[in-house]
Structures are given as C-alpha cells and as structure tokens.
Structure 1
Amino acid sequence: MASSALPVPSHHRALVLETVEQGFSVQMVPTPQPGPGSAIVRIVEAGVISYHRDIYNGERTYEFAKPIVGGLSAVARIVAVGHDAVVLQAGQLVWMDCVMHARDNPDSLFLNAIHEGSDAGSRKLSRDVWRDGAFAEYMRVPLENCFRLDENRLCRELGYTTRELLYMMYLLVPFGGLRDIRLEPGETIVVGAATGGFGGAAVQVAVTMGARVIAMGRNGKELARLKDHVKKGTPGANIETVCMTGDYETDAAALQAFGTVDAVIDFTPAFACQSTHLKSAIRSLRRGGRCSMMGYVEDVINWNVIALNITIKGKLMYERDDIVLFVKMLERGLFPRGKDLVDPKVFKMEEWKEAFDVAAEWTGIGKTVMIEP
C-alpha cells in the first residue's frame, strides 16, 4: 500500500567517478530530498549497457561533469515525492528513465549520467540539476521520468521479476524507432545489425508488434540463436535471417528474395559506419518504404531512395508516449517471461569492474547486465 513517504536515510552508498583515471569507488554520499517536480527513488535494478566501460574510462569521448554517480535507466521504488505530485506515491514500483528533457524546452535533452547533450540548456541541467545516475541506493529524479509499473499485474499475475523488467532499457529504444516509422502489424521489416543488444531487442519488439522480421547480421551462429530465442518465447513469430557478406549487391538480392519489404531499422555503431548492409536493406524496400536510422552508417543515399519515395528518418531513443504505451503492452502480457525474455547477469556495486567487463561481452537478444545496490 502506497504511503505519503517512506524513511529516507541521511546518507547512502553510491558508485562515484571522481576522475576517469581513478575509476569508480563506492562512497557514502548525502541522500537528496524531494522538491517541486521531483521524486526520491530507491534503486532496485540499475542497468549496465555494453559500452558503459568505454564511456567511463574515456575511450568514448562523451562529455559529462565529474564527480558523477554513474548509471542509466533503472527499476526503482518511490520513497518520497514533491508536493506537486498528483499520481506518484511512496511505495510504487516505477521505471526510472534516463532521457532527461528541459521542461521549458523539450528539445534540450541528454542521457542522465551518460552525456550532457548538445546545447547550453542540456549542459546546464546535466551539470547543475540532474547530474547523478542510478548506480546508487537512492536517486533524485524528475517526476516525469518516473513511470508507474503495475506491480500486482506484472510481478504477481504475470510473474515478471524486477530483473526481467529492466530489459526495458533495451526494448524501449527500438520501440521508439518502430513507432516513429509507424510499423504496422503484418508488415515486413529488416533489422540491421540484429545480433547486437539493441538490434536483437528490435527483433523481439517487432514480432510482438505483429510484424514479419528479416534479421541481418554477420555472425551466423548468433543469428541462429536469435531466431531460436524469439520462436521459443513468441510461438508463431515470423522471422527470417540473412548473414551479411559485405557485398552490396549480394546482400540486397538476399533480402529481395523474401518478397515485399515495408520498412528497415538499423543500429549500426559508429565504428562500423562504412558498412554497406544498410544501403542493401534500403534497396530492398518497396515504393514508399520507410527506414529508421538509430545507429550511424555513411553513404546510404542513392537514386533508388528518390525514385521509390523512400523515407529515411533519424531517431534518438524514444518519446514519453512510447514509454507509456510500452508499459501497457507489458501489462497486457504481450511479451515473453523468464529466460524466454531475458537472462540477466547481476552484480553488486563493489563489482562494478566485472559488471562493465561482462556487459561488453554479454550482448545480443535476451541478454542484459545490472547492478543491484
């Protein structure tokens, strides 16, 4: 039963990065108090993504202020809210989302504890207001970044654990891209770089939305595992696989052999930006087809894009409405449960190095890593 407030300690444990050279350390830090527009949450599961290690050791040149409590999105429980909260209450289980928007300019956004965004507004908020992330026992977050999870429905009736619910950090990203290009039930979509964490999640989301999926990847063994995982958790799923050769014409012909293709979504990381597979996928599209670029590939435009009225849209993460709808889909039981959905690896705060190392390798559909404070 939710109450107006739960006990909040004066200090709590957090994983703090003072400098890139020193790395993280577990420290006792003051516990923040709620104010207008904010909530204090107790972190239950904090997500670790595959490139967290590269972000915090400086290999990826992401800008963020230091010292900082690391993290990303999390499953959490509200312990206190500001006086302006009208729905959120202490005791509720919530999805704490990492995408922070300025209230007076939603175009100023950043990923909490990952980077500071690209304009003066996002830099101000990331440094001065919402700096610290979810690798902690407690965290202060904007009210609008807390999404209620029906704990009775999800955990008691459907049997999800909070560890399984954390897989939302992967599933939500492709859901945002698929909604952005208006994927419809019955359509055929090509998922590029499908053997990665976000690409694999895109396959799961697309089949749950009722689409036929053609998954592209370089690793034939991982493609076979992906197909088996989806079919086991979603009986009747319509999924095909194409092992990329790196040859533009060959890969395009392999996709075209499956017939009409309505849409493409791609998650290629920047280090593989010269891959030709996305260009091959776009060539396979029908007239009026759509493509969501959620990764980065160079040289995707050719005459076919113009001649066939192809729409290419860039998409960063997702919108608030996407999260609300996704939670409804979860609560309706549309996704698998247990290891048919995800097989998580769980670490303590003190094991952060191992967590980062494992996350870099434990990738692909149905895999995730988390830190439990």
Structure 2
Amino acid sequence: MRAWQITALGTPATLRELPAPTPAPGEARIAIQACGLNFADLLMAEGRYQEQPALPFIPGLELAGTVLDLGPGTEGPPPGTRVAVYSGQGGLAEQGCFPVESLLPLPDGMPMAEAAGFQIAYGTSHLALAHKARLQPGETLLVLGAAGGVGLTAVEVGRQMGARVIACARGADKLAIARAAGADEVIDSDHPDLKSALKAMGGADVVYDPVGGPAFDAALRATRPDGRILSIGFASGTVPQIPANILLVKNITVIGFWWGGYLHFAPQILRDSLSTLLRWHAEGRLRPHISHRLPLDRFPEGLDLLRRRAATGKVVIEIAQQQ
C-alpha cells in the first residue's frame, strides 16, 4: 500500500510503498478513503504536539473509510461498514488498522470527505462551547480565526446554540465564508484597533480562540464581565501571556480545552457530543466547508496550505474514490 511516513522529526514526510497491515485482536482493518488535515499534523511532524507517536509513523489524525476485516476474535462493525476514525496517526495511507472502539459508524448520507474532517473540528467546537463554556442562547460569541478548520465550525455550532456570533478573520473572502456559515457580524482581524472595534460591537460573553497572539489580547479586553475565554490553540505561533489582574477585575474565566484529551478521561462525554453533531448533520443544520480536496500524493501541498493559513474550513486528502 502507499503511505506517507515520517522517519525523523522536522524533516518532510516521504511517500512510500509499505506492506498492507494485518489487524490484531481488538482491531479493524480499514480501507481509507479520505483523511482530514489539522494544524496538529504540522505540530506533530515537528515534534511539538502533546501526543507524539514513536518514529517512524504515518501522519493523519482523522480519517474515513470502509471496514475490510476484523482481527481474530474481535467483535465490531462488519466488513463494508462506513466509519470515521479519530486515530491520532495513520490516516495518510491506503489502509490502516485501528481499535474497534475508535470506529464511528457513519450515516448513509454523509460523504466520506465530510466525515474525514468532521470529528476534530466539530467535536472541538461543540464540546468546548456546550460543555466547557456553557454558552447560552442570546449570549454573544466571538470566534477568532473564524474561517479556519475549527473556527468555522464554532460559528456554525454557536449559531445552532442560539448565540449572537461575531466572526473575526482576515480579509473579505474569509469574512464572507464566515457570514455564510451563520455569523451575525464580522470584523477583519487586521483592524487597526481590534479591541475598540469589538467593544463597539458590545463585546463578548464567550471568546473562542484557536489563534492566540495579539487577537487574544484584544479579545480579552473586549470580553464582558463574567465572560469566558476558550483557549483552543495557537495558530499564530504565539502563546498568550495572560494578565491575571484583568481576569480578577472583570471576573473573567480562561478555559483551556483539548478535545483529544477527553478520549482518556471522559470518553462518554465526547461520544455524546458526536452523537448530537451527527444528528445535526443529518437534519441539515451543519454544512461542512472543504476548501481543498487533494489526492494522496499532494499531501505536502495540503500541509503548506495550513502552514500559510491559506485554507478555509477543512483540507481533505482523498485517498480513494468516494463511495
């Protein structure tokens, strides 16, 4: 089978011919049809992610495909079942073996490309907003990086939860995409006085921040008293240094959130969240946005799109014809 493999951190992945895997007990072998790319793929390739596979490894945190067979003595979805998998690695290959408990059976109407990029982005936004920030109908949600992989889903999810959504992104094209996803108001992240502009919009009760850097600082100062700030990631490359005096005076809560961590300490909460999201998708309430679909041999191009923040929504690597 063909697969991308990283053999040394900080060096480019190589497309190789590798032996097809054999499922062990408790595993299913999947014919992988699509893999969703995430900013974490960049961090993992550089050895800067919180969960780091041993070398060599096949990158690709999440995927969708079809069950081929099960390991000896394993009970699980039968061959032919369409599934999505949050694997942590292994998605950028034509086949892979994964624990059966990580398989998410897919509704018949869900395209593989959408399923491949669904779990992390939508799961992050829903669990962060509903479980951690307790976003309420009528509250104002500010989404930074609102046209990116997770940011765009936060716009959609926030709208479904009844919030007034302010989307912050760079440039008219990205702002138009955020507005089409349901944002009530938009603001360019390059605004010369972002803090004042956000305050003029009334400030925010909840801030969803996958960016960090100066945008976090502006959002902090535009957060209303008793507000909540979700720290999702640091796509800007700068981790904010938070002035505790502002938190004290305004009674603001800053909440760290990592979706994958729930697999280890509260998996049922994560599964319940995904069940809600799949129901919303089936009802037509979510419309995943994929800006780039690339074949397997163009994976480095997909990573570069993420590195340059040139993509909107998801970048998906299509490994086989969609079924």
- Normalised-by-shorter TM-score class: 0.7 to 0.9
Change (3 A) 1:184 1:78: farther
Q: Give, in whole Å, the separation in 2 of the partners of 1:22 and 1:188.
A: 42
Alignment of 1:194-233 (within 5 A): 194-217=146-169, 219-230=170-181
CA distance in 2, matches of 1:167, 1:283: 33
How far the C-alpha of 1:84 sits from its partner, in A, is 4.9
Q: Is the 1:34–1:40 Cα contact (8 Å) retained in structure 2?
A: no
Q: What CA distance in whole angstroms lies between the structure 2 residues aligned with 1:358 and 1:314?
A: 26
* Residue 258 of structure 1 pairs with residue 258 of structure 2: no
Residues in 1 aligned to 2:254 and 2:42: alpha-carbon distance in whole angstroms: 31
| SS of match in other structure, 2:150 | helix
User: Counterpart in 1 of 2:303?
Assistant: 356
Q: How does 1:63-142 map to 2 (within 5 A)?
A: 63-82=52-71, 83-85=73-75, 88-98=77-87, 112-113=88-89, 133-142=90-99
Pick aligned residue for 2:226 from 283, 288, 305: 288
Counterparts in 2 of 1:34 and 1:209: CA distance versus 1, 3 Å:
farther
Distance 2:38 2:251 in 1: 36
> For residue 33 of structure 2, what is the aligned residue in structure 1?
44
How far did 1:369 drift? Answer: 2.8
Q: Check 1:184–1:363 CA distance in 2 against 1; reply closer, same or farther (3 A cut).
A: farther
Please report the TM-score for the alignment, with normalisation by the length of structure 2.
Answer: 0.80
Q: 1:303: which partner in 2?
A: 245
C-alpha deviation, 1:50, in angstroms: 5.1
Instruction: Give the Å deviation of 1:265.
Output: 1.0
Residue 251 (structure 1) shift: 2.6
User: In the alignment, which residue of structure 2 is the partner of 1:344?
Assistant: 292
User: RMSD across aligned C-alpha pairs, in angstroms?
Assistant: 2.8
- Secondary structure at the aligned position of 2:279 is classed as helix
Which residue pairs with 2:133 in the alignment? 181
Deviation at 1:363, TM superposition (A): 4.0
Q: 1:315 to 1:22 in 2, by over 3 A?
A: closer
Query: Take 1:357 and 1:298, find their aligned partners in 2: how far apart are those partners?
Result: 24
SS at match of 1:336: coil
- Whether the aligned pair in 2 keeps the contact of 1:49 and 1:369 (CA below 8 Å) is no
SS in 1 for 2:113: helix
State how far apart, in whole Å, the 2-side matches of 1:18 and 1:238 are. Answer: 42
Name the residue aligned to 1:317: 259
Identify the residue that residue 123 of structure 1 maps to in structure 2.
none
TM-score by structure 1 length? 0.71
The 1:172–1:363 alpha-carbon spacing in structure 2 relative to 1, beyond 3 Å, is: farther
For the residues of structure 2 that align with 1:364 and 1:16, how far apart are their CA atoms?
A: 23
1:240 maps to 185
Q: Which runs of 5+ in 2 are unaligned?
A: 263-269
Poorly superposed stretches of 4+, deviation over 6 Å = none
Q: How far apart are 1:73 and its partner, in Å?
A: 0.2
Counterpart CA distance in 2 for 1:291 and 1:54 is 23
Q: Which residue of 1 aligns with 2:266?
A: none
**For 1:22 and 1:307, how far apart are their aligned partners in 2?**
47
Is the CA contact (8 Å cut-off) linking 2:167 and 2:187 kept in structure 1?
yes
Greater CA radius of gyration, 1 or 2? 1
Residues in 2 aligned to 1:150 and 1:326: alpha-carbon distance in whole angstroms = 12
Q: Which residue of 2 aligns with 1:161?
A: 111
Q: Structure 1: 5+ residue runs without aligned partners?
A: 1-11, 99-111, 114-132, 231-236
CA 1:192/1:260 → structure 2, altered by over 3 Å: closer, same or farther?
closer
Q: How many residues align?
A: 301
Residues 302 and 315 in structure 2, CA contact (< 8 A), matched pair in contact too: no
Deviation, structure 1 residue 45: 0.6
CA positional deviation for 1:188: 1.1
Equivalent residue for 2:267? none
Q: Which residue of 1 aligns with 2:103?
A: 146
Does the aligned pair in 2 maintain the 1:173–1:198 contact within 8 Å?
yes
Task: Measure, in 2, the Cα distance between the counterparts of 1:258 and 1:186.
Answer: 15
Which residue of 2 is the match for residue 372 of structure 1? 319
